[in-house]
Amino acid sequence: MSDPTKCSDEMAGQTSSVRESPANGPSPLACDDDTGLVDAAWWSARQDAYLAHATSVWEPRSPLNVIDHLERRRRDETWEVPLADLEAPEVAESWFRRIDDWLDCADFDMIRLLSLRLGYPDALPQQLAGAIEDRMVSFRHWYTDPAPQGIVDQRWYWSENHRLLFGVTEHLCGATFPDVEFTRTGRPGAFHGARGAERLHDWFDEKALYGFTEWHSDDYYAKDLAALITLVEFGTDAALVGRAAAFLDLFVFDMAIHCHDGTFGASHGRSYMKDKSRGVDQPTFAAMKLCFDDTSAPWRAPEDDTVSLLPRNESGTLVARAQRWRPAEVLRRVATGDAESWSCQRNGLRLPLDEPFHTGPMHRDGWGYDDPGLLAFWWDRDAMALWQVVPLTMATMDTFGLWDIDLFAPARGLREVTGGDPEVGRRLAYDLRAFIASGLLTEVDTVCWRTPHVSLANAQRYLPGRAGYQHHTWQATLDEGATVFTTHPANAPFEDPDGWDPADHYWTGTATHPLSVQHRNVVVCCYQPAYASPTVEGLEGFRYLPETHAWFPTERFDEVRSHDRWTFGRRRGAFVALWSWRPVRWRRHDPERVFTDGLQTPFDLVAEGGAANVWICEVGDRDQSGSFEDFVASLITTVPEVVEHPLADEQARGVPYQGAHGGFDVRYWSPSLGVVDLDPSGVLRVDGDVASSPDEADLSALRFATPWCELAHGDTAVRIADGPWALEVDLGTGARTTSGPTL
């Protein structure tokens, strides 16, 4: 992998000249015909339907809403847009606030502003268009570029989605103004266009090899989509545009696999409660509704993207204005198919958290832990506190003055405790490895079982017992609003009646990861913390509550019943059953103090008495389980057997941490599967036969193992097929072909 901080002058000189309106030029996406794509008239009608909804309001302070109106006017010349409103001072103030104040997520704004400047170059008032161009040239496009003296740049450059966004913005800004001197570096735009392209190719190579770090993220897939479709629509480098389109197809395929009634019903590497509690709140919802038409739920009201960092309408707006890209018909069929499906995936790089302590410089795959050119590679995985990477982290923070960034505030104590010695920091991170790298995004096996009525998805055995952050382990999805999942809360709910704060980890993420294993329509989820809740000052961020709980919004179900420790729900023809080893009760929340999303009936099913607990979920439907009464009757006589192994030392049961919970042996008589056994090592058996093990033989060589696609790790040639319909893309070259019957 090349050094992302460097770019040769020779490479810079190859960038194309200034482009005034790239959207009007020929597409670099080579395609002889549209066979195998969704019907052009159907697609245009889908885009028009979204735009009609989005333009029901006019909010000039919202770049996304302005895009909606300008795109509708491009399609319908009679549509009037009050462009004079854009000259109001508050418009520029809101559009540029995060950019000018050096705030985090300014790259989110740059993507929208690029769509305005490059997509509608003659529509904006001259002064506002000039202001956008000024920011394109003066923006700090990478963390290694000089920042003004005395400025603390609060931006996060290094996560999977931010790396992609910064790469796209730098490439397009540089390619648009190749001969203009850029403010931060004093280099011409051609240099930045080429450097952005180099970083993008590195990103594409890496994701082709390992898959996505922020797996199935209903929040950050929306950001990936925004970056990729912007590059596809406005790029002129055929190689880059082709690869961007190929990865755009892959993201849409991933969403299609997990689509149920328009909901991205998956485990998520990163997610927030404000978005995940129901499908219509997910930032991916608008794009999925556009591409798949799999839900009758209405479009969400346009959201103020100058305030919200993850506006729910962004994916819809940028897909609705797409002229070059159209989804393949096979992707729509994957999302809406009626056949029962069982899909497995493996994403990410395996990070050896528990290997014996050493000071060696190399990962087993050949990546250098101490290589400054790979900093973004490691931090993409939130591995800044991974003990092998800590010396590089500390050196980088010293070199670029990152200790003052607000998002690094929790790390300042590390510098004080270690005296700035990186090797002391490495040893400390190793000793605290059960929780210090709580946001870690390592290799993950995910599964999804889906019927026309219900879906169940899980992250198999993901870092059991260790601290979590924004991870979402498992979910049952009955429709856009009726979802069920469990978490281990880190704190009591914030007293904020106006919304779920992303920093409130009562529902967002999980304080500790469970040992959670799914086979088809059953998941067994064991919470077994690998460390005691810290009492030491300075480690407050890793504390947790002595309870687990389930999201079960009774108001969004047609029926809910309880029997002993079982809770049952029905939504239309879909059924869910949830069992807890510990006794459960409904916790009521005062809507004057705690946000309840308008729910009037119980939704928070709490199992108190300890953080260690076993939850079992089984889903069914009217086609496979009979009536809801039959489903309930088949389960209420079932009492799972649980044997707890409370504490373990370093030698007992293979648990590597002092004081760690020893795990559970679980036996459950499933009426649909048979006898389900799960042992503390994570081996799940059905009627005595191994159905799932830590080796996951069905995934050992495969990135995708689904009814529509099998893809080996490292293979860039992706073929997705459903009967005669097919999509073939090459993640390495960007080649894209579609096929299917003539419509």
Walk across the sheet containing 483-487 and list its strands: 584-587, 604-608, 547-551, 483-487, 474-477, 455-460, 444-450, 341-347, 702-705, 710-712
Sorted by sequence, the CB contacts under 8 Å of residue 346 that are 6+ apart come out as 211, 443, 444, 445, 446, 696, 699, 702, 703, 713
Buried b (16+ CB within 10 A) or exposed e, 392-424: bbbebbeeeebeebeebeebeebbeebeeebeb
User: Which tokens hold the place of 182?
Assistant: 């850029």
The per-residue pLDDT for 21 is 36
pTM: predicted TM-score of the whole model, two decimal places: 0.94
Per DSSP (E only), the strands in 511-590 are 515-519, 522-527, 547-551, 559-563, 566-571, 574-580, 584-587
Amino acid letter, 601: T
Q: Which residues pair with 467 in a beta bridge?
A: 512
The per-residue pLDDT for 304 is 60
> Which DSSP string do the residues of 114-152 spell out, in sequence order?
HHHHHHSTTTS-HHHHHHHHHHHHHS--STTS---TT--
> Which DSSP string do the residues of 670-719 spell out, in sequence order?
ETTTEEEEE-TT--EEETTEEEE-TT-GGGTTEEEESSS-EEETT--EEE
Sorted by sequence, the CB contacts under 8 Å of residue 202 that are 6+ apart come out as 1, 2, 4
Alpha carbons 267 and 437: distance in angstroms, whole number: 20
Q: Which residue in 138, 141, 123, 117 sits closest to 233, CA to CA? A: 117
Alpha carbons 98 and 108: distance in angstroms, whole number: 9
The per-residue pLDDT for 314 is 94
Alpha carbons 169 and 108: distance in angstroms, whole number: 10
**Residue 724: exposed, middle, or buried by beta-carbon count in 10 A (0-12, 13-18, 19+)?**
exposed
Residue 382 DSSP code:
T
User: Which tokens hold the place of 296?
Assistant: 């009758």
pLDDT digits (tens, 9 = 90+) for 689-718: 999 888 754 455 689 999 999 999 889 999
User: Residues of the chain whose pLDDT is less than 50?
Assistant: 1-26, 30, 649-655, 697-698
pLDDT digits (tens, 9 = 90+) for 213-268: 999 999 999 999 999 999 999 999 999 999 999 999 999 999 999 999 999 999 99
**Three-point CA angle 608, 612, 616, nearest 5°:** 85
CB 153 within 8 A of CB 107: no
The per-residue pLDDT for 701 is 66
Helices (H), 211-284: 220-234, 238-257, 273-276
The per-residue pLDDT for 10 is 31
Alpha carbons 500 and 598: distance in angstroms, whole number: 12
Alpha carbons 343 and 432: distance in angstroms, whole number: 35
pLDDT digits (tens, 9 = 90+) for 66-104: 999 999 999 999 999 999 999 999 999 999 999 999 999
Query: Three-state SS for 10?
Result: helix
User: Which tokens hold the place of 391?
Assistant: 């010396």
The per-residue pLDDT for 29 is 62
The per-residue pLDDT for 643 is 97
The per-residue pLDDT for 458 is 98
pLDDT digits (tens, 9 = 90+) for 172-190: 999 999 999 999 999 999 9
CA–centroid distance for 163 within its chain: 14
C-alpha pair distances (Å), 629 with each of 315, 479, 560, 571: 40, 20, 11, 13
**Tally: H helices and E strands in the chain:** 20, 26
The per-residue pLDDT for 588 is 97
